[in-house]
Amino acid sequence: MTALSKVATTVLVGLLAGGCAQFTGNGGMDPVTDGVRREIGKDAVRLSDPEAARRAREQVQALLSEPLTEDSAVQITLLNNRGLQAAYNDLGISEADYVQATLPANPTITVSRVFGTGNFAEVGFQLVGNLLAYATLPRRREIAKREFEEDRYRAVATTLSLSVDARRAYVRAVAAGQLLTLLEQARQTADASANMMKQLGETGAANKLDQARVTTFYAELSAQVAQARLAVKREREALNRLLGLWGSDLDYKLPARLPALPAAADNQSDVEVEAMRRRVDLIILRYEIVTLAKSVGFVEATRYLSFLELGLGFRNEVETNDAGEQSSKNRYGLDLGIVIPIFDTGEARVTKAREIYMRAINRLTERSVNARSEARLAYSTYRATYDIAKYYQNRILPLRRQISSEVLLRYNGMLVDVFEVLVEERDRIAANVAALNALRDFNLAIADLQAALIVGGTVPPSGVINTTPPPDTLPLGL
């Protein structure tokens, strides 16, 4: 077998080793949909046509017609968030790149017309193809397929991350509304006390100092209510952005209270194992490492031979003699173009590929260590916030109610003055606010634990800006 025959055989094997990839028809969404449903039990939908958009819109409206729950907020986000749809468009672009990478390079054809002295003329055709591109097509196809798989997992990660963000925003919005209700109720009580103190002052039964204390307490509590109202608007708008809502859709209803504490916290002793098994960012890095390993092998295989081009030529020469007779000659030939590795021996490309591969190895190792730490911290936070919230509900709040009842009895019996009542009211409000914040933090810790186990990356702080001052700075007017 000649050298040319061997080259032709290699090219033929490369072209026949695998067919060209076909488009899936849904932008490669099937693994994304299955992965999201398996992890959180929700539907991820790509709005690729008007019919899909119409069905999603109907589902969103049906969910908005009922008071919003945490699960329905997540589902609306997956159906209606256009940033998520843009991520799915990126997946469609990745699929197009994958299909493009599986196609053989198009050959080029050149046509020439040459005129010589006298009656000489020549017509030539040349068909040129990149033999190296054809021979390496199976390897490049395999690498492109794995890169497409990585992008599918990235779409899953984006979807799961957005679902966690929706849960956090929902908890914060409900907690902000519940805090506003609590402060408004406290202000109503303070308003009644201020009116009563004013009436007592008119009759001379209350001095000016006590009147000023009660009035100031009411005024400063009113300022806290205004701040809480602003927090409600801020948290609700943050939720609206994730839900992708505007116009008449903003009239949805949120529950008045956060869910009650469960009877017991979940006991998960293997959070590190779960994180190693489920976290999408680690899965992506593992895919990337395998892909890079194949890329290193590809670069090493083509280190010295980076260009190989074969041209098939045909020329027709026509010459007319002095007698007017024409003679025609057909000529065939081959052109082979190859890069001579004199200056660039490919060492830089190989070294770069190896360094990129080792960088991915080190990043996976680092991410694995971080993932274990994040999972441990998230679970510790989950258990701690549960214990704190339960302690507030089972111990602190009952004791505060008992103290408030006792102080009120003493005040009615004229054993304590207004100052003692105001101090107790301040402490009671502070305890209720702290209990609500503890319940909010527990619900946020659930979302943070889910993020640490399945999404990956740095888990953002759970707490929101606390619009209620700490206990020692609640309004007293003293």
Q: What is the pLDDT of residues 177-203, one digit of tens each?
A: 999 999 998 888 766 666 666 665 556
pLDDT tens by residue, 205-223: 566 776 777 777 778 888 9
Instruction: Name 336's bridge partners.
Output: 310
Mean pLDDT confidence for 324-341: 70
pLDDT tens by residue, 137-191: 787 788 888 888 889 999 999 999 999 999 999 999 999 999 999 999 888 876 6
* Alpha-carbon distances of 317 from 109, 120, 127, 314, rounded to whole Å: 19, 7, 18, 10
Distance of CA 185 to the CA centre of its chain: 39
DSSP-derived secondary structure letter, 338: E
Q: From the CB of residue 293, how many other CB atoms can be counted at a distance below 10 Å?
A: 15
How far is residue 133's CA from residue 152's CA, in Å, rounded to a whole number? 26
Question: Quick one: pLDDT band at residue 396, thresholds 50, 70, 90?
Answer: very high
**pLDDT attached to residue 348:** 83
How far is residue 272's CA from residue 369's CA, in Å, rounded to a whole number? 10
Res. 324: pLDDT tops 60: yes
Element (H, E) at 36: helix 30-40
How far is residue 347's CA from residue 358's CA, in Å, rounded to a whole number? 16
Question: Quick one: pLDDT band at residue 308, thresholds 50, 70, 90?
Answer: low
Q: In what order do the strands lie in the sheet with 308-320?
A: 108-115, 120-130, 308-320, 326-338
**pLDDT attached to residue 117:** 57
C-beta of residue 442 within 8 angstroms of C-beta of residue 434? no
Mean pLDDT confidence for 289-299: 83
Give the whole-number percent of the chain exceeding pLDDT 90. 42
How far is residue 171's CA from residue 193's CA, in Å, rounded to a whole number? 33
List the chain domain ranges. Answer: 140-172+252-306+345-478
Give the whole-number percent of the chain exceeding pLDDT 70. 74
Is the pTM value of this prediction over 0.85? no
| More confident of the two residues 269 and 43 | 43
Give the residue among 57, 475, 466, 424 at the shortest CA–CA distance from 227: 466
Average pLDDT value for the chain: 81
**pLDDT attached to residue 122:** 60
DSSP-derived secondary structure letter, 53: H
Question: Quick one: pLDDT band at residue 307, thresholds 50, 70, 90?
Answer: low
Give per-residue burial for 415-439: e unless 16+ CB within 10 Å, then b: ebebeebbebbbbbbbbbbbbbbbb
Q: Which residue has the tokens 């990337």?
A: 288
**pLDDT attached to residue 476:** 37
Res. 277: pLDDT tops 60: yes
Instruction: Name 328's bridge partners.
Output: 318
**pLDDT attached to residue 182:** 92
* Alpha-carbon distances of 63 from 73, 80, 132, 259, 443, rounded to whole Å: 8, 12, 56, 19, 22
Res. 314: pLDDT tops 70: no
Q: Which residue has the tokens 């994958």?
A: 98
Question: Quick one: pLDDT band at residue 472, thresholds 50, 70, 90?
Answer: very low
Element (H, E) at 146: helix 137-203
C-beta of residue 156 within 8 angstroms of C-beta of residue 32? yes
What's at 175, amino acid-wise?
Answer: A
What's at 54, amino acid-wise?
Answer: R
Question: Quick one: pLDDT band at residue 475, thresholds 50, 70, 90?
Answer: very low
Q: Which residue has the tokens 């100052």?
A: 419
Res. 457: pLDDT tops 60: no
Q: Average the pLDDT over each of 289-293, 418-422, 465-469 and give the range with the smallest value.
A: 465-469
What's at 36, amino acid-wise?
Answer: V
Q: What is the largest CA-CA distance in the chain?
A: 143
Element (H, E) at 329: strand 326-338
How far is residue 109's CA from residue 123's CA, in Å, rounded to a whole number? 13
Protein fold of 140-172+252-306+345-478? Outer membrane efflux proteins (OEP) (1.20.1600)
Q: Ramachandran region of residue 470, left (φ > 0), alpha (ψ -120 to 50) or beta? A: beta
How far is residue 318's CA from residue 327's CA, in Å, rounded to a whole number? 6
**pLDDT attached to residue 105:** 76
Radius of gyration of the chain (CA): 37
**pLDDT attached to residue 466:** 38
Concatenated DSSP letters of 421-470:
HHHHHHHHHHHHHHHHHHHHHHHHHHHHHHIIIII-SPPPP------SPP
Torsions phi, psi of 261, nearest 5? -65, 140
**pLDDT attached to residue 451:** 93
How far is residue 474's CA from residue 223's CA, in Å, rounded to a whole number? 11
The H helix count followed by the E strand count for the chain is 13, 4
Question: Please, which residues have CB within 8 angstroms of residue 127's CB and are 6 or more apart in sequence?
Answer: 107, 108, 109, 311, 312, 313
Question: Quick one: pLDDT band at residue 38, thresholds 50, 70, 90?
Answer: very high
**pLDDT attached to residue 205:** 55
